[in-house]
Structure 1
């Protein structure tokens, strides 16, 4: 019985799904408290307060909904390939992005290496014995990673912010996080941390890293819901812009605002998994059809899917996201080469961007 309730708690928390570096934080000055800042918590601007997920809703979705959740497969290798370490250790002069697993991406350009939402643990959980278990391995080990200039965190759920990985990387890299997370890192003696609010910028060796809105929530325990912020992220070189969606639901305002602000996104990393049942997940996790809406709203030229093919977090079949993405692209008359469900371990390169084109109507 204890194991059962420990497992439930782990699932609830997980699915809620260097000092020598140049530092510069800037953003629009606010004369009043920003609208997404509540009374001691953060809030979504386009959701009612009663739309936030709750424990009882999760239990209903997990154990009493008519839609069964898939089992974690054994020795699963579909949509997976190893990443040769040389690919990331000796990145070329063009932009490249390697999907290491789940939402962990290694973005490299002009000698700058950025890592997103790294999780190398076997479970996305506060426990080592319960909670969502990895069924596809990372395509690289921590030891195979190149030197990391910065790690960007979208929010504090266990499948995006992993204690073991944080401790392994420690102060050897710069952590760029949403508001409210710096104190969390301090408990592990990780102090090389910069917090940003939505629309604030950080300048890293000439690359502008900007926190941008998303529609999600945060929680590490039963008592800290929404006390830290969630965010998507833009990475802006003079001639190349990438966007990382983290975890998000869809609304028809904020992503269009992001598109207007960025002008054009050369590469977008957009979540395509963990979305069923819709009555429970729709406010905070996009499905592939909504992922395509985001692709269009932010003016993305090329994209690949993240947040799938790693953990059983929700009820859709584990091989469903790429099929649903293909259908959504066809309905929107978008060339499927522009938005792909690439394998874990695959590396996106700028050559893919050059070859992409919209299917004519």
Structure 2
């Protein structure tokens, strides 16, 4: 399947530089960012985004193999460490306009404080989501303890990232930033300020820029809507230039290097590290821990905070394995241990 380039001037040499580190002097700079789109803009989109896939979706042969040898959940041995999963809920830190702070509620749900705004990512406060056992760690931030929220960003429409019961608890006037093709879902639920963006587009709210960037993933919510809406991550940029990248859900691939060059100086990357086993089945859509570290290097990000593990059992790896492996990979890469923000569910970290 085809992939959309960021720019019509992208070269073959760029496409071949997938595994090169970010700061290469031979790589040309990108043009300035596009002007921000209007908030709440009504837009028309193609019926399908299948052409954005970076790998084909599984076919009948893959499903047959999975039926023969695939494992949906870890065995008893892989679940024995559930009581050891890090869970340390604590009050959210007080922050100023120039402070960046992140608080992990679990899975891909974060409270990101940046540029004076409090932004909620992929909010899932439900105990159970469709087709998945109940969460194995409680939500790390009680709903009543949330700060006044200024915006919500959603990466894609899978149930573990777009949770209708949780979103129903939000005020309908809150600004929502969503992938192309997903605004109608929100508007049917009476959200009044929904800004849907294509890859490499951005919008601004009170001086903070929200840019939607590519991911190696897909979308589906019903039997008939495969890839009818887009998927991706978000780069949040404060007026003073501080940047947080929220990857959403993604496999490893060439987009990270391009995102890093398009948005240099990422201070923190919120990266998924779980739901990767069996590898032959999930490689194209979920990073494993080593790939998450590699992606962080490709981005040129200064720090990484792991997510998308230890909350819902979505695949066959042991529940604590992602944390163990990402720590080893970080050390092997020669990176400063202080820059790996491997937070317990419920914990926060402030960027000094």
State the TM-score, normalized to the length of structure 2. 0.81
RMSD: 2.5
Map of 1:190 onto structure 2 = 191
Give the conservation status (yes or no) of the 8 Å contact 2:173–2:192: no
Aligned match for 2:111, one of 96, 106, 115: 106
Map of 1:13 onto structure 2 = none
Q: CA deviation at 1:62?
A: 7.0
Unaligned runs of 5+ in 1: 1-22, 27-36, 352-361
1:263 maps onto 2:264 in alignment: yes
User: In 2, Cα distance between the equivalents of 1:55 and 1:348?
Assistant: 45
Map of 2:48 onto structure 1 = 41
Give the conservation status (yes or no) of the 8 Å contact 1:58–1:280: no
Give 1 or 2: higher helix fraction.
1
Map of 1:209 onto structure 2 = 210
Map of 1:116 onto structure 2 = 121
Give the conservation status (yes or no) of the 8 Å contact 1:216–1:249: yes
Map of 1:29 onto structure 2 = none
User: In 2, Cα distance between the equivalents of 1:267 and 1:103?
Assistant: 15
Deviations along 1:285-331, one digit per CA (max 9) or x if unpaired, are 00011101110011010111010110000110000001111221232
Aligned residues: 309
Give the conservation status (yes or no) of the 8 Å contact 2:71–2:316: no
User: In 2, Cα distance between the equivalents of 1:68 and 1:160?
Assistant: 19
User: What pairs with 1:172-191 in structure 2 (closer than 5 Å)?
Assistant: 172-191=173-192
Give the conservation status (yes or no) of the 8 Å contact 1:24–1:202: yes
Partner SS for 2:169: helix
Q: CA deviation at 1:336?
A: 2.7
Aligned match for 1:83, one of 90, 95, 104: 90
Deviations along 1:104-138, one digit per CA (max 9) or x if unpaired, are 0101134211110000001121xxxx533111011
Partner SS for 1:343: coil
Map of 2:286 onto structure 1 = 285
Give the conservation status (yes or no) of the 8 Å contact 2:53–2:218: no
Give the conservation status (yes or no) of the 8 Å contact 1:151–1:173: yes
Map of 2:21 onto structure 1 = none
Q: CA deviation at 1:83?
A: 2.3
Q: CA deviation at 1:101?
A: 0.7
CA spacing shift, 1:145–1:66, aligned 2, 3 Å: closer
User: In 2, Cα distance between the equivalents of 1:66 and 1:167?
Assistant: 34
Between 58-67 and 215-224, the greater mean CA deviation after superposition: 58-67
Q: CA deviation at 1:144?
A: 1.5
State the TM-score, normalized to the length of structure 1. 0.79
User: What pairs with 1:226-241 in structure 2 (closer than 5 Å)?
Assistant: 226-237=227-238, 238-241=240-243
1:326 maps onto 2:330 in alignment: no
Give the conservation status (yes or no) of the 8 Å contact 2:71–2:278: no
Partner SS for 2:186: helix
Q: CA deviation at 1:249?
A: 0.7
User: In 2, Cα distance between the equivalents of 1:331 and 1:222?
Assistant: 43
